[in-house]
Amino acid sequence: MRQNPLRKTPAKCLSETIDLTKGDPREHARHALALWRENPDVHEDYALALALALKDQPSQPARAAGQDLLAQLAQGCSNVALYNLAISKLTGDNTPADPDGANTLLERVIATEQEDRTLLSLAINAMADTFFFGWGKPIELARALKLYQRAAALGCDEAAYNAGLFYHGKIQAWPGALDYNKAAHYYAIAAAAGHNFAITNLALLHAGEMIDGADPEYGERVLRMQAAEGDQEAAKALPILAAARAANDRQVAEGKPAA
C-alpha cells in the first residue's frame, strides 16, 4: 500500500539537458512551464520530470519550485500532474498534508482519464488506500477492496497484492470470507510484475498446498530463493514447513494417514 509518483520521463533525460545543482531552480521551473504552455504535447513529459526532480532536491527553494511547477501543470489539466500533486497532498511531501484535497484530485483523474491505463490504475489504487486507511474518508474496507480489484484489472501490481491480502486473511479487520484461490490469482498478477511480497505470499500458498493445483516443491524453492534475498517472511516459513513435512513423514512411517 505504497504510493509512488508517476515519472513519465527517465531521470537521465534531465541530466542530459540540465544541471539541477546549478542556477536558480525557480528559473528552471519557469522555463519548463513556458515550454509546456507553448506546446503541451511536446513538453509535458519534460516539465513533469523537472517538477519531480526538483521536489527531490535537498534545498528547500528547489523543492518549493518543483511543487509550484507541479501545481501549475495540474491547473493546466495535466492528469499526470494531478495524480502526483494528489500523492504529495496525501503524504505531506513538501506540502502540508491535505487528504480531502488529494481525494478531490484523484476523483478528477479517475473521472477524466481515458487513455493511460497505468495512470488510471495508480489513481484508483491511491483512492482505495484512502478508504483503507481513512485518509479524508471513512474507513470502508469493502469499498477499498473493490477499488483494489479494479486497479488490479488495469495492471497495478500494488493493487493486485493488496487485493490478495484480503483473501489471504491478512487484513484482520475485514470480515469477508477467505479464498486462497482468489488470493493466489491476485498475487500472481503482482508477482508477474516482480512484486517481491506477492512472490513470497504466492509461494506460501503453494508450499502449504492451500490452493487448487498447488505445487509445494515450487513453493519451497521460491521461498528459499526469497529467503536468500533477505525476505524475512520466507525465512520464517521454511523451518515451519520443514517441521510439518517431518511430522507427516513420521506419521507415514508409523502407518498413519498423512496430515
On the 0-12 / 13-18 / 19+ scale of CB atoms within 10 A, 236 is: exposed
* H-type alpha helices, the chain: 11-15, 25-38, 40-55, 60-75, 79-91, 99-112, 117-133, 141-153, 157-168, 180-192, 196-207, 216-228, 232-253
CA dihedral angle for residue 6, residue 119, residue 109, residue 174, rounded to 10 degrees:
-100
The predicted structure's pLDDT at residue 226: 96
Residue ranges for the chain with pLDDT beneath 70: 1-18, 94-95, 249, 252-259
Instruction: Please state whether 10 falls in left (phi above 0), alpha (psi between -120 and 50) or beta.
Output: beta
How many whole angstroms separate alpha carbon 73 and alpha carbon 70? 5
The predicted structure's pLDDT at residue 11: 44
The predicted structure's pLDDT at residue 156: 95
Share of the chain above pLDDT 70, in %: 88
Given a contact cutoff of 8 angstroms between Cβ atoms, the answer to whether 238 and 245 are in contact is: no
Half-sphere exposure at residue 111, Cβ-oriented, CA atoms within 13 angstroms: 8
Opening angle at CA 120, ends 116 and 122, nearest 5: 120
pTM equals 0.84
Phi, psi of 19, deg, nearest 5: -105, 105
The predicted structure's pLDDT at residue 178: 95
3-state secondary structure of 136: coil
255 DSSP assignment: T
The predicted structure's pLDDT at residue 247: 75
